[in-house]
Amino acid sequence: MAPIPDGAKVWLVTGCASGLGREVVLAALAHGDCVIATARNPERLADLEQKGARTLALDVTASQDELRTVVDTALGMYGTIDVLVNNAAYLLEGAIEECSEQEVLDQYNTNVFGMLRVLRAVLPHMREKRAGIVANVGSAGGWKGIPGIGLYGSTKFAIAGITLALREEVAPLGIEVTVVEPGAFRTSILGKGFVPAKTPIDDFEPLTKPLTTHVANFSGKQPGDPARAAQLMVEALTKSGRCKGKALPSRLLLGKDAVQLGRGVLEQNKSELEEWAELSGSTDFQDNNSKI
C-alpha cells in the first residue's frame, strides 16, 4: 500500500482517457494529491501514470460485482478514497423519436446507471469513515432541454436530480456531494464522444442536419478550457486556492456560457411560475387556506 503525503487526498476519477477527466487527474496531481485514474482501456492512461497517477481499467457499464472488485483494488492502492469524480459519458445525437430504445438504454447505461454503479461501490467506504467528497459530472444541458440532443440532456437532468437528493441523504454522514455542470468545453465530446442515432427521420432533417454541421464546425473551437475547469474543480472540492472558505455548492456551473444559460433558465422559470401561480394554486382542497 502506497504512502499518502501529509494533507493529501486520494482521488478516484472515471473517464480519464481524454477531456475533463484527464485534466482533473493532472490538476489533482499538481495539487499534491494522490490520484487513481481509470478508463475502459488503461493503455490510454500511460502518460498519466508517468506523471504519478495510479491507473486502473474501469468500465462503468460492467456489472455491479465487477465494479465493486475494481473499487476494492483501488482501495488497496492507498487504503482510502477521499474524492470520487464520476465523469464517464458520451453524447447521443438525434431527435427524441429518432433514438431507438436500445440507443436510449445504452446512453443511460453509461451516463446514469454507470454513475450509480460506481457510487454504490464507493459510498460504503465513505460512509464507514464518515467522510468523503463526490462530484458527479453533469452538463449545462441538464438545465434546459436542447432539440437534437434531448436524450443526452435528459441523462444530465437525471444526474442533477440524483446528485441533489444524494447530497441531502449523505450530508449527515459527513459526505459532501455536488453536480459539476460544464458548458461547451474543448474536449472530445463532439468528436469521438458524439454518437448520431442510426435511424434518421426525414421530418427532423431540418433540425438534425444543421446540428450535425454545427457540431462539426464547433468541435475544437468551444470556448471552455478543460484545464482551467479542472483547476477550479480541484480548488472547489478541496476548498483551496480561490475556493478557500467557500462551501461546496450543490451545482457547480463551469464556463460563461453555462452561467448565462443558467440565468436565462431561472428567469424564464420564475416568469412562468408567477404567471401561472394563482391557477396552479387553485387545485388544492378548499379548506387549505395557506397563501402562495
Cα 58 from Cα 176, distance rounded (Å): 23
Residue 3 lies in a domain: no
pLDDT of residue 32: 98
Cα 271 from Cα 263, distance rounded (Å): 12
pLDDT tens digits for range 58-91: 999 999 999 999 999 999 999 999 999 999 999 9
152 is catalytic: yes
pLDDT of residue 198: 95
Burial 167-193 (b: 16+ CB within 10 A, else e): beebeeeebbbbbbbbbbbbbbbbeeb
pLDDT tens digits for range 207-234: 888 888 887 778 778 889 999 999 999 9
- Over residues 87-111, mean pLDDT: 96
| Overall domain count for the chain | 1
Residue 265 lies in a domain: no
Residue 33 lies in a domain: yes
Band (pLDDT 50/70/90 cuts) for residue 267 is very high
10 Å CB burial of residue 86 (0-12, 13-18, 19+) is buried
Is the pLDDT at 236 greater than 80? The verdict is: yes
Residue 282's φ and ψ, nearest 5 degrees, are -80, 0
Would you state the cell numbers that stand for residue 131, as one nine-digit string?
467522510
Is the pLDDT at 145 greater than 90? The verdict is: yes
Residue 5 lies in a domain: no
- Over residues 168-188, mean pLDDT: 95
Among 78, 90, 108, 152, the one annotated catalytic:
152
Band (pLDDT 50/70/90 cuts) for residue 246 is very high
Residue ranges of the alpha helices (H) in the chain? Answer: 19-30, 46-50, 64-78, 101-108, 114-129, 150-170, 205-218, 226-238, 256-281
Domain range spanning residue 96? 10-260
Cα 133 from Cα 167, distance rounded (Å): 10
The CATH code of the domain that includes 22 is 3.40.50.720
Residue 170 lies in a domain: yes
Lowest mean pLDDT among 64-68, 116-120, 258-262, 283-287: 283-287
Residue 279 lies in a domain: no
Residue 225 lies in a domain: yes
pTM: 0.94
